[in-house]
A and B are shown apart, each in its own frame.
Chain A
């Protein structure tokens, strides 16, 4: 008796819902999931990769556009941390290197070379500092590894 009563109640409720025009739940969930995926994907793309362009130069001559000798930034390791050396001067931080490079003439360009054990982050830092200091001619001189 009670089962029949429940069935009847359910049917009437459904009939009422369609009469009003209820939202189709399945497609709604579909769209909501799509939105979710969309925002997941776009938030992942927020951390886009950048790049630091530079030229390659071989040790001792090679192809050189001008006769001017580029200033050389050497990266060495000292007490476990990288040190940037330009001529006589040595600096430890990227900010100091950029300040030092911005005083130099830009026309000859800058060449970066590093000791084998220097982390690549220091190489990238030197190239970034040269770029920020206004050098357009930046080159990297790979050392012949043993």
Chain B
């Protein structure tokens, strides 16, 4: 008798759906929780991840890929990123995820370094404010 058992079938299908959801959003899952500025901004293109993500905490510490980094380390990473993009890679852009209460001097300090080595495009990470749809 060829009776297809439905329960394990649904089980497997759900496993697959969850697996693909997790892997496609993995870049965002890796990001640390941060109190981002509440602005509408632009929608992020899922396919196009920024080349470098810098977090700025309230106490002025910088984090790259969830690891604490000094300004010199950030500069070194950005330099190698730029060299990579000059060698035919995708355009080098920086996403900065600041704590909204952090002072602008923390932002200026890192952006001054980045602009000095030729970074032109950057983005500020935001989160949709509560109460405003989409």
Contacts and interface: CB of A to CB of B under 8 A. Distances in A.
Interface string B1-41: 00000011011001101100110010010010000111111
Given A41-B22, A56-B119, A75 B104 contact: yes
Given A27-B8, A41-B22, A47-B127, A53 B121 contact: yes
Contacts of B15: 34
A143 interface: yes
Interface in B31-62: 31, 36-44, 56
B21 A120 contact: no
Interface in A25-49: 27-28, 30-31, 34-35, 37-38, 41-42, 45, 47-49
Chain A, interface SS category: mixed
Interface of B is mostly: mixed
A110 interface: no
A142 to B, nearest CB: 4
A30 B21 CA distance: 19
Interface stretch (A5-13, A84-92, A100-108, A123-131): A123-131
A73 to B, nearest CB: 13
B113 to A, nearest CB: 9
Contacts of A57: 115
B14 A34 contact: yes
Contact of B121 (A56, A124, A132, A143): A56
A10 B57 CA distance: 63
B114 interface: yes
Interface string B71-108: 00000000000000000000000010111111111111
Contacts of B97: 49
A24 B8 CA distance: 11
B97 to A, nearest CB: 8
A49 B126 contact: yes
B128 A47 contact: yes
Contacts of B121: 53-56
Contact of B124 (A24, A52, A58, A119): A52
5 contacts: A45-B25, A49-B97, A120-B37, A120-B124, A145-B108
Interface of A: 24, 27-28, 30-31, 34-35, 37-38, 41-42, 45, 47-58, 62-63, 75, 114-125, 127-128, 131-132, 140, 142-145
Nearest first, the 3 A-B pairs at minimum CB distance are A50-B41, A116-B105, A124-B37
